[in-house]
Amino acid sequence: MAPATPKPGATDPAIIRNFCIIAHIDHGKSTLADRMLQITGVVDPRNMRAQYLDRMDIERERGITIKSQAVRLPFKADDNEQYVLNLIDTPGHVDFTYEVSRSLAACEGAILLVDAAQGIEAQTLANLYLAIENNLVIIPVLNKIDLPAAQPEKYAAELAHIIGCSPDDVLKVSAKTGEGVGELLNEVVKLIPAPVGDAQAPARALIFDSVYDTYRGVVTYVRVIDGRIPVRDKIKMMSTAETHETLEVGVISPEPVATEALGVGEVGYLITGVKDVRQSRVGDTVTLAARPAQTSLGGYRDPKPMVFSGLYPLDGSDYPLLRDALDRLKLNDAALVYEPETSVALGFGFRCGFLGLLHLEIVRERLEREFNLELISTAPNVIYEVTMDDGTKHVVTNPSEFPGGKIAEVQEPVVRATILSPSEFVGTVMELCQQRRGTLLGMDYLSEDRVEMRYTLPLAEIVFDFFDQLKSRTRGFASLDYETTGDQVADLVKVDILLHGDPVDAFSAIVHKDKAYAYGVMMASKLKELIPRQQYEVPIQAAIGARVIARETIRAMRKDVLAKCYGGDISRKRKLLEKQKEGKKRMKMVGRVEVPQEAFIAALSTDDSAAKDKSK
Amino acid sequence: MTNRSLGAYVHVPFCSSRCGYCDFNTYTASELQRDGTTVSTDTYAQRVVKEIQVTASKQTDFVQPLETIFFGGGTPTLLPAMDLNLILRDLENTYALADNCEVTTEANPDSVDKEYLETLRSGGFTRISFGHQSSSQKVLQVLDRTHTAGRTWQAVQWAKEAGFAHVSVDLIYGSPTETDDDLRLTLDEVTAAPVDHVSAYSLIVEPGTRLAATIKRGELSAPNDDVAAARYEMIDKALTRMGMTWYEVSNWSLPGGQCRHNIAYWQNQDWLGLGPGAHAHFAGLRQWNVKHPAAWAALVDSGDMPVADSEQLSALDVAHENIMLALRLRSGLALSELSPTAIDQANVALTDGLLDAEQFANGLAVLTFKGRLLADGLVARLWD
């Protein structure tokens, strides 16, 4: 007779194993999770669907996980004992490093999942280091061993080299066929330690995810460290001291199951009826109001936007819709910040702050898809701190706020970037990083033909089509990860673009002094191609302050008239002109210059595809 | 009777060969044969006469003396001269001709001889318009024109001898391979000829034509608007020197040489449209015939008007067309017909040098030289 499934809230921590899967996008994490759901029997084969745990459409379509989840899997191991495995899904992208770190903090071990045909990628490596820093037990696994292109021996050696184990310790599975997944679960039971906590101590639970649900409000995912979180009790968020009542407590298996409580080492969710994820922040510690813990679990950070971009509705009358849509998205996205902004060229919109480029891309895509909005986004930029000669400081999140006058210094954020590349591209990658004002910190050969390079780079350079360039120069083989490490003083200037003497705020950029000329020439020649000829000559100038550094001219249109207009032509010609006039309504006026929307989109889209590609 | 004048347009949908740039409703004999129709140049006049009878009997409100008649095509002069006269006679008998009725036919220089022109003149034709296009043999070849350049001037001479007071030539400029020298040669010949009217059209590459395909394949370069603008200036200067003035953006004449039929189009007068695909206009109703000669002939034979469809213009359409057409004319557009926002736009156009300042002060929007080339954009801006 099989032992009874352990009851949530009354489970001996000794039989609990909390783990996550660290993997690059497309390396098969979701498929492996699907297989685990099937093997442990929590999903009926009839109800199985691919990427079961990925809830958002965008996640399923793009094959990436944005929000994590935790699923409780009862598992009878080879030792014939009943265990409870909590698989904590981690977001798989560079922009969400902090969320990843909180998910890792909720675990005792991690499966390092690597595609046997591709080897480890930079982001995986970065998350692996994060896991090692968190003292997680690492189980190295090669996936997709069924693929003809798989090179399990080669990549086992690579993984062994990176984590310092024997190649024989690397498990080989096929999440697709299920081969080796049962053994993997047994290894999880064997190798990953059970959680340890004090059941009698004041309750402390770590929030590792917080999701807004239209019907239930915010669903908060927690890992209990000490004590117990019961239902219908007053809990307290330690960062804000706000208290809420737990209306529901439960576990996901893989559908929500309400329980009486969550005990030491357990992973589950709680619902308090709050409507905004900001009231239940990732990284915060939950305790009980009646008997609060004295110290939080530590490691809490406010999400800090690093990349800013102006979002404008293509149709100005959609502005209220955009505002409502952002208000809605904010409920589920603690990192999204925005404030109204007016652009001379683009009208009313919002300056939005994001964790990074992918975050920007995801928000934009959700706005367009879920709220049916057509948007223009301005070129992304970072935060600058400008100190004037008189000591006053300005924080600049929009090039148009860049102060004129005597500037003492400008600080810009820098990142520590890790780039993994086949060794044949080392020179190419170094050249790119140098062009982007990078400083080499060090490099290591992971194997004979794979190199890890570490650079300090200005974030602004990464934000400006760095990833596209890296991919195209390495035929798609290099991968990138970065984390912000601080600020540096840099010789930065604002370049304005003027059309017919009028500055176009949407095209202003803050760039390094050495690159101002190149930026000016690039924008001016691009706009010359994109803006149709007008009835008069239109100069396009790039300027730093009053100094023009580049100039192009759109020559005046001399002729637009259709020569012939006989009797049978009149209606046709009228309709043609009416159609042209309709088309002109979609033009934005900059001073007297008619600029098609497409010109703005094309001119601003230098790195439009970067974030998209990054997820591939 | 209406208080508007009535004209007649007679379409003759035949050509001996199709020019590469042409997208007009016209057919070669072999095309018609391939389509299996009995329509031919031999029987065409009889059918037009039938159409005149049907139309006059059904649209009795619009029977009044004709001020102008225009035979266009196609190549009207592919019909025997007597047949053109026959149609004209029938129009006269059915509608009557006003005093000084202007009767024009288009003609290909190589489809007429002296006798032909004399026959037309004695039949009552008063005006002839030759499709000269260019004096450069190279350009004529690019356009697939069959005549030689010199033939036009011979035909013009015969027309004068036959007693035509009004002789016009059509020019096409800005064709691929055309150079300034080619146009200069054309203009030298035109200004030396006894013509009182010139229409000059910049070549428009219409989708679906052989020329469009040739350009798409890269065998010829597409016409360039800057070049066309410069050529327009050459034409305007040369014609002005010979005493002509522009009266519409693409039309110039000596005093008294204006084409009254075209002016009637541009003033939104009424006109009959006879023949396949011909358009008619009756007090805000635009009406057009079925396009293919065979379909047209079948309807005419069965005693029906061969109308394909019609469109009743709204007040806004009429206002738009009025602005569009009046602005193209030297007589101009009365500022009093414009809305306050359109007046603002007109003032901007005045500042930009598109409208004549003196005329503006007199309450008229009249295009300057610069404005003539940029009329379409201005029209759209003056619309509400």
* Interatomic CA distance for residues A221 and A251, integer angstroms: 9
Residue of chain A whose Cα is closest to the Cα of B317: A574
Using a CB-CB distance cutoff of 8 angstroms, which residues of chain A are in contact with residue B328? 565
B233 contact residues in A (CB cutoff 8 A): none
How confident is the model at residue A285, as a pLDDT? 95
**Percent of the residues in chain A that have a pLDDT greater than 90, as a whole number:** 55
Could you tell me the pTM of the whole model?
0.69
ipTM above threshold 0.95: no
The predicted structure's pLDDT at residue A53 = 63
More confident residue, A89 or A413: A413
**A460-504 pLDDT tens trace:** 999 878 888 898 898 888 888 888 899 999 999 999 999 999 988
> At CB < 8 A and 24+ separation, what contacts does A290-296 make?
A290/A233, A290/A234, A291/A202, A291/A203, A292/A202, A292/A236, A292/A238, A293/A201, A293/A202, A293/A203, A293/A204, A293/A226, A293/A227, A293/A238, A294/A202, A296/A204, A296/A238, A296/A239
Quick check: A564 and B201 CB within 8 A?
yes
Residues of B in contact with A574 (CB under 8 A): 317, 320-321, 324
Q: How far apart are CA A583 and CA A578, in angstroms?
A: 9
The C-alpha of A600 sits at a distance from chain B's nearest C-alpha, in angstroms, of: 22
Angle at A472 between CA A470 and CA A475, to 5 degrees: 105
Check pLDDT > 80 for residue A601: no
Tokens matching residue B371? 């404005």
Beta carbons within 8 Å of B63's beta carbon, 6+ residues apart: B56, B94, B95
Residues of B in contact with A553 (CB under 8 A): none
Chain centre to alpha carbon of residue A277 = 17
Average pLDDT of chain A to the nearest whole number? 88
- How many C-beta atoms lie closer than 10 Å to residue B304's C-beta? 12
Three-class DSSP category at A37: helix
The segments of chain B whose pLDDT lies below 70 read 1-2
Burial of A342-356, coded b for 16+ CB within 10 Å and e otherwise, reads: ebebbbbbbbbbbbb
- B145/chain A closest Cα distance in angstroms: 19
pLDDT at position A45 over 90: no
Position A448 scores a pLDDT of 83
- From B140, B141, B104, select the one nearest B125 (Cα to Cα): B104
CB distance A578–B72 less than 8 Å?
no
Q: How far is CA A481 from the centre of its chain?
A: 11
Q: Cα-Cα-Cα-Cα dihedral of B161, B164, B165, B167, to 10°?
A: -100
The answer on pLDDT for A613 being more than 70 is: no
Structure tokens at A582: 């309709």
Contacts of A587 in chain B (CB under 8 A): none
Contact B265 A536 (CB under 8 A): no
Q: Buried b vs exposed e over A235-264: b needs ≥16 C-beta within 10 Å?
A: bbbbeeeeebebebbbbbbbebeebebbbb
CA separation for the pair B253, B249 (Å, rounded): 12
Model confidence band, residue A54 (pLDDT cutoffs 50, 70, 90): low
Give the minimum alpha-carbon distance from A548 to chain B in angstroms, rounded to a whole number.
Answer: 27
DSSP letters, B181-240, are HHHHHHHHHHHHS--SEEEEEE----TTSHHHHHHHTTSSPPP-HHHHHHHHHHHHHHHH
- Contact between A531 and A538 under an 8 Å Cβ cutoff? The reply is yes
The answer to whether A537 faces chain B, any CB pair under 8 Å, is no
The residue of chain A nearest to residue B277, with distances taken between CA atoms, is A568
Q: Which residues, 6+ apart, have CB-to-CB distance to A547 below 8 Å?
A: none
| 3-class secondary structure, A461 | helix
Contacts of A581 in chain B (CB under 8 A): 380, 383
Q: Tell me if chain B has a CB within 8 Å of the CB of A559.
A: yes
Q: Taking a C-beta distance cutoff of 8 angstroms, is the pair A401, A394 a contact?
A: yes
pLDDT beyond 70 at A1: no
Determine, for residues B380 and A580 on separate chains, whether the beta-carbon distance falls below 8 Å. yes
Q: Is A577 on the interface with B (CB under 8 A)?
A: yes
**Owner of token pair 């402390």:** A204
Using DSSP bridges, classify how beta strands A243-245 and A234-237 pair: parallel, antiparallel or unpaired: antiparallel
Contact between A364 and A373 (Cβ < 8 Å): no
- Which of B252, B311, B324 is the mutation pick for testing A, counting most A CBs within 10 A? B324
Mean pLDDT, residues A505-534 taken together? 91
Distance from CA of A344 to the nearest CA of B (A): 22
pLDDT tens digits for A347-362?
899 999 998 888 888 8
Summarised one tens digit per residue, pLDDT across range A230-270 is 999 999 999 989 999 999 999 988 888 899 999 999 999 99
- DSSP strand pairing (A82-88 vs A16-23): parallel
Q: Decide if pLDDT at A123 tops 90.
A: no
What percent of chain A has pLDDT above 70? 93
Is the Cβ pair B225, A557 closer than 8 Å? yes
* Secondary structure of B17-63 as H, E, C letters: CCCCCCCCCCECHHHHHHCCCCCCHHHHHHHHHHHHHHHHHHCHHHC
- Residue A584 touches partner B, C-beta closer than 8 Å: yes
Instruction: Note the maximum CA span of chain B.
Output: 61
- Residue B102 CA: distances (Å) to CA of B11, B108, B125, B152, B259: 16, 20, 8, 22, 8
Residues of A whose CB is below 8 A from B373: 558-561
Q: Cα B143 to the chain's mean position, in Å?
A: 18
Confidence at residue A61, expressed as pLDDT on a 0 to 100 scale: 54
Q: Sort out which chain B residues have CB atoms less than 8 A from A562's CB and list them.
A: 204, 376
Q: How far is A377 from chain B (nearest CA, A)?
A: 30
pLDDT score of A612 more than 50: no
**Residue A58 confidence (pLDDT) above 70:** no
Q: pLDDT tens, A577-600? A: 999 888 887 777 888 898 887 788
Residue of A536, A537, A554, A561 to mutate, testing the B interface (most B Cβ within 10 Å of its Cβ): A561
What pLDDT is attached to residue B1? 45
Q: Is A582 an interface residue toward B (CB < 8 Å)?
A: no
Range of A116-130, A438-452, B354-368 with top mean pLDDT: B354-368
Distances in Å between the Cα of A608 and the Cα atoms of A380, A464, A604 are 10, 10, 8
Judge whether A45 is closer than 8 Å to chain B, CB to CB: no
Cβ distance of B229 and A566 shorter than 8 Å: no
Give the C-alpha separation, A519 to A427, whole Å.
Answer: 25
Q: What is the mean pLDDT of residues A161-186?
A: 93
Distance CA B301, CA B223 (A): 43
A395 shares contact with chain B (CB less than 8 Å): no
**Chain B CB within 8 Å of residue A562 CB:** yes
Q: Which helix (H) or strand (E) holds A159?
A: helix A152-163
Is the pLDDT score of A506 beyond 80? yes
Size of chain B in residues: 384
Nearest residue, CB atoms, B271 vs list A560, A563, A567: A567
Range name among A191-195, A216-220, B46-50 with the lowest pLDDT average:
A216-220
A585 interfaces chain B, CB cutoff of 8 Å: no
- CA–CA gap between residue B52 and residue A109 (Å, rounded): 95
Buried b (16+ CB within 10 A) or exposed e, B70-95: bbbbbbbbbbebebbbbbbebbbebb
**What's B315-379 look like in SS3?**
HHHHHHHHHHHHHHECCCEEHHHCCHHHHHHHHHHHHCCCECHHHHHCCEECECHHHHHCHHHHH
Cα A66 to Cα A99: distance, rounded to the nearest angstrom: 10
Is B380 close to A535, i.e. CB distance below 8 A?
no
Which of B9, B266, B373 lies at the smallest CB-CB distance from A561?
B373
Q: What is the pLDDT of residue A215?
A: 83
Contact A440, A410 (CB under 8 A): no
Q: Which residue of A has its CA nearest to B250?
A: A563
Residue A573 in contact with partner chain B when CB distance is under 8 A: yes
Strands in B97-107's sheet, in edge-to-edge order, are: B245-248, B251-253, B197-202, B166-173, B127-133, B97-107, B66-73, B6-12, B270-274, B279-282, B285-289, B307-312
Token pair of A232 as six digits: 């219908």
CB-CB under 8 Å, A578 with B320 = yes
A/B interface, count of CB pairs below 8 Å: 96
Question: Is residue B309 exposed (0-12), middle (13-18) or buried (19+ Cβ within 10 Å)?
Answer: exposed
Residue A49, pLDDT score: 67
From chain A residues 137-196, the ones with a CB under 8 A of any chain B CB are none
Q: Residue B225: closest CA among chain A residues belongs to which residue?
A: A559
Residue B116 in tokens? 């032909």
How many whole angstroms separate alpha carbon A42 and alpha carbon A53?
A: 13
CA A229 to chain centre: 31
Instruction: Pick from A500, A533, A534, A535 the residue to mutate for testing the B interface (most B CBs within 10 Å).
Output: A535
Chain B residues with beta carbon closer than 8 angstroms to that of A500: none
Residue B382: predicted pLDDT: 95
Which residues in chain A have their CB less than 8 angstroms from residue B325's CB?
565, 570
Helix, coil or strand: residue B157? helix
Handedness of CA A574, A575, A578, A583 (dihedral sign): negative
Chain A residue numbers touching B307 (CB-CB < 8 A)? none
**Which residues from B are below 8 Å from A535, CB to CB?**
352, 354, 374, 377
pLDDT at A615: 35
From A482, A477, A484, A356, select the one nearest A418 (Cα to Cα): A482
Q: Which helix (H) or strand (E) holds B121?
A: helix B114-123
Question: Half-sphere exposure of A326 toward its Cβ, with a 13 Å CA cutoff?
Answer: 24
> Residue A74: beta bridge partners?
A84
Mean pLDDT of A269-292: 91
